[in-house]
């Protein structure tokens, strides 16, 4: 019933929520000695998946299905801001968390507008 926009926006919102949780973990562990900063990798994986399309020379060839790209949580391995080998810079984490929150808000409004368009169509039918 819904177009592809709903799934794309939903996935982007899920990734934004995951990022918020990771930022919160990093901030909570900003004073933990030896804590390695975590981050979410998604856009790079999505770009790789989109660039690896199979070409078909005949319409009867087997069509490939879209594979769902899943975000990955990774750890910063060798970058530390302090002598206790903690990799979290509180100011950077808070700035990134704020920017990510704004992205989520925009995505939420896009989703609301898409639902509103469908409601308009359904009411007029």
- Digit-coded pLDDT (tens) for 17-63: 999 999 999 999 999 998 999 999 998 888 887 777 656 666 666 55
Q: Which two tokens stand for residue 16?
A: 């934004």
Residue 72 domain flag: yes
Residue 33 domain flag: yes
Range of 114's domain? Answer: 4-56+67-124
What is the domain count for the chain? 1
Return the bridge partners of 38, or none.
Answer: 75
Residue 62 domain flag: no
Residue 9 domain flag: yes
This prediction's pTM: 0.79
Residue 117 domain flag: yes
Cβ atoms within 10 Å, residue 65? 6
Q: Whole-angstrom Cα distance, residue 32 to residue 84?
A: 8
Residue 43 domain flag: yes
Residue 2 clears pLDDT 90, i.e. is over it:
no
Distances in Å between the alpha carbon of 73 and those of 27, 50, 125? Answer: 16, 20, 45
pLDDT digits (tens, 9 = 90+) for 106-125: 999 999 998 998 888 888 86
Residue 61 domain flag: no
| Element holding 39 (H helix, E strand) | strand 38-41
Residue 80 domain flag: yes
Half-sphere exposure of 90 (CA within 13 A, CB side): 7
């Amino acid at each position: 019933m819904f177009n592809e926009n709903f799934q794309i926006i939903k996935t982007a919102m899920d990734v934004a929520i995951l990022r918020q949780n990771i930022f919160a973990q990093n901030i909570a562990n900003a004073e933990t000695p030896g804590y390695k900063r975590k981050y979410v990798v998604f856009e790079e994986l999505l770009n790789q998946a989109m660039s690896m399309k199979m070409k078909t020379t005949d319409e009867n060839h087997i069509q490939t299905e879209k594979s769902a790209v899943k975000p990955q949580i990774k750890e910063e391995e060798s970058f530390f801001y302090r002598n206790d080998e903690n990799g979290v810079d509180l100011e950077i984490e808070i700035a990134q968390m704020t920017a990510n929150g704004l992205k989520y808000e925009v995505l939420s409004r896009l989703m609301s507008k898409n639902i509103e368009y469908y409601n308009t169509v359904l009411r007029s039918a």
